[in-house]
Each structure stands twice: as C-alpha cells, then as structure tokens.
Amino acid sequence: MIKNRLGNLSYQLAALLLAFGVVSLILLSVDASPSEAYKNIFKGSFGEMRKFAEVLVAFVPLLLVTAGLLVTFSSGLWNIGVEGQVVLGAIATTWVYRFYLDSDLPPTLIIILAIIGGMLGGAIWAALAGILKVFGGVNEIFGGLGLNFVATALTIYLIFGPWKRPGVASMSGTVPFPDEFSLPLWQNLRISPWALVIALIGIVFVYFLLQGTYFGLRLKAVGKNFRAAYLLGIPTWQYSMYSFLICGALAGAAGAMQVAAVYHRLIPSISSGYGYLGLMVAMLINYQALWAVPVALFFAALNIGSIQLPIIMKLDSSLSGVLQGVLVLFVLLAAGVRQKFGRKV
C-alpha cells in the first residue's frame, strides 16, 4: 500500500517536472528566461505578506470549489456546472444583502444569512443540473455548461437591469455594500481570516464525509458502479442528487466569499474562473481530499504570482494558466502511462 503511494508520487513528480520543462521551452522560444519568470512568480506570490494575502484571497474560493467537486467526482459526476454554481452563490448573496440593506438586524447576522443564502443559491443551481441529469437524461457536462452560460447572462442582466447603479449602469458592477456587510479583514490586508476558516471547514467536512461516513461510502459505490450500487440496495439517483446539492452549496459558499469578503458587490466576472480552475485541481489531486489544500494553494500562488510577469518581464500573465493546464495534462498522462505500462498491483 505504502509502496503503491510512493510509486504514485514519483509519477506525479515526473509530471510536474515535465510540465515545468514544457513551459520553460515555451518561454525560451520567446527569448524569456524561464528561471527569471519562475523567480518572479514566486516573489509575486510569497515575496511579501501583502502578496501572500492575495494568494489566500484566491485560495479560499478555489479550495471551496475543489472540496465540492471532490463530492461530485466521488459519485461519478462531472460537475462542469460548478462555475455557474459559484456565480449563483454570488448572486444569491447579493440578493440577501440588498434585501437587508435598510434593516435593523445586526450586521453579523446579515453576513451569516447572506452566506447561507449563497450556499442555497449554489445548491439550487446544482440541483437544476442534477434534475436535468436524473430526470431528463441530460449529461451533467452539457447541462452544467448550459447553466454556466445562463448564470453569466443572469449576472449581466442584474447588473445592467434591476440592480444597476443609480444613474448609469457599468461593467464595474452593482453599488458597493456598506463596510459593515464585509467579512472583517485581517489588519490592513485584503484577506479575511473568517473566509479562510470557512474554506478550511469546507475541505475538512468533505474529507470526513468521504473517508468516514456511510454516506461517503455509498456515494463512492454509486460513483464506481451505479448498477451494482443499486443492486446492493443503495438509492442511487437520490445519492447523485445529494452530491450535486453538497457541491453546489460549497461552490455557492465560494461565490458568497467573493461578494462578502473580496468585491463587496456583484461584478460581471464574479467567479473569476475558479470553478474551472477547481476542476483542474480536483483532477490533479486524483480526487483525494488530503491533497486539496497544498495543490489549491499552489494554483492560487501561480495565479497571483503571474500578475507580476507583464509588469516586470513584458510577458502575458496567462502563462500561469498555461502552466496549470500543461501540469494537469501531464499528470493525467502520467496516470495513463502508469496504467498501461506500470506493474499491475
């Protein structure tokens, strides 16, 4: 068992090295120094406290989305719709804030209600994909993709329609909420320790759900063999729906964090692509919850660190996306190679 894990790790390390190798070649082809680029990415993410705080800001939604996706992947579902579920989480959070804008309730309670609202919003959006899948026979990939577009369109409609700023609507989003609606930030940094705590609770929750509960074991059985799970007496489609709901709630929480802790309003690209990035993280860690924290942190660091590239090296910041994509491809490739040529265990 331990030998097996070590073997696995060596394949993944090889994939990591290969990914950096390919990206280095790309950099060399445009006459840029790979080592300088990596150094700048590192400095841009871990170089100073302010920058590390930015990394954590990206880490929070990414970890929540990854945690949710671990649940849907366990039940054998490709919840591509997670991106839209983040968006709906943000929309629902905004809606709750707007609803209580002039109320006398304590702000803390409103923040809690807004976050719960966000989780419900994400869960409802995921339930739509689930209903399409279970009752309509629509593959969750297609259903989810469609719902993602609808979610984006809905955001734009709200920003330019019912929720537009007084005077003229703009791409900069809705009117910012008052300061007391924001999750408290840590000193003068942009990261809220509360958001971090919520994200960590999310992943710990999923870890125990999948590792230690009957629910998690049944979910895995459904994911690995739907038919056999049914014959073993597990209510299969219900479990598919549960996993959509849990993933949607966690994605919705990510959307809520984007509104409550980062942007303090609804903006058009509120999800910042964390849904799709979360899919990559989940694939990269081979659906093991333990690895979610370091890998999500690594991806967040790449995202934030690469912001330095256009400023210092006149390179496009999408380099981090290239590195992430290549990395996932190589890890999947390594898994394929291992399956084909590796010793059968």
Residue 224 engages another protein in binding (rule: CB under 8 A): yes
Residue 220 engages another protein in binding (rule: CB under 8 A): yes
CA distance 88 to 259: 11
Asked if residue 173 lies in contact with residue 266, where contact means CB atoms within 8 angstroms, the answer is yes
Residue 228 engages another protein in binding (rule: CB under 8 A): yes
To another protein, the closest distance from the beta carbon of 47 in angstroms equals 43
Asked if residue 45 lies in contact with residue 298, where contact means CB atoms within 8 angstroms, the answer is no
Asked if residue 336 lies in contact with residue 14, where contact means CB atoms within 8 angstroms, the answer is no
Q: Is 168 helix (H, G, I), strand (E, B) or coil?
A: coil
Residue 153 engages another protein in binding (rule: CB under 8 A): no
Residue 286 engages another protein in binding (rule: CB under 8 A): no
To another protein, the closest distance from the beta carbon of 235 in angstroms equals 7
In this chain, which of 218, 244, 308, 319 binds another protein, going by CB under 8 A? 218
Residue 206 engages another protein in binding (rule: CB under 8 A): no
Instruction: Go through 87-112 and write b for each residue having 16 or more CB atoms within 10 A of its CB, e for each that does not.
Output: bbbbbbbbbbbbebeeeeeeeeebbe
Q: For 130-154, give the DSSP string.
A: HHHHHHH---HHHHHHHHHHHHHHH
Residue 227 engages another protein in binding (rule: CB under 8 A): yes
Q: How many residues bind another protein (CB under 8 A)?
A: 20
| Cβ-based nearer residue to another protein, 142 or 237 | 237
To another protein, the closest distance from the beta carbon of 227 in angstroms equals 5
To another protein, the closest distance from the beta carbon of 228 in angstroms equals 5
Which pairs with CB-CB distance under 8 Å and at least 24 residues apart come from 33-37? 36/313, 37/309, 37/313, 37/315, 37/319
CA distance 236 to 75: 10
Residue 134 engages another protein in binding (rule: CB under 8 A): no
| Cβ-based nearer residue to another protein, 225 or 288 | 225
Residue 225 engages another protein in binding (rule: CB under 8 A): yes
Closest CA to 280 of 328, 333, 335, 326: 328
Please name the residues in contact with 322: beta carbons below 8 A apart, sequence gap of 6 or more.
23, 26
Residue 98 engages another protein in binding (rule: CB under 8 A): no
Residue 229 engages another protein in binding (rule: CB under 8 A): yes
Residue 212 engages another protein in binding (rule: CB under 8 A): yes
Stretch that binds another protein, among 23-31, 59-67, 221-229, 317-325 (CB under 8 A): 221-229
| Cβ-based nearer residue to another protein, 218 or 264 | 218
To another protein, the closest distance from the beta carbon of 215 in angstroms equals 7
CA distance 251 to 122: 6
Return the structure tokens found at 140. Answer: 């969750």
| Cβ-based nearer residue to another protein, 229 or 277 | 229
Residues that bind another protein (CB under 8 A): 1, 212-215, 217-218, 220-221, 224-225, 227-235
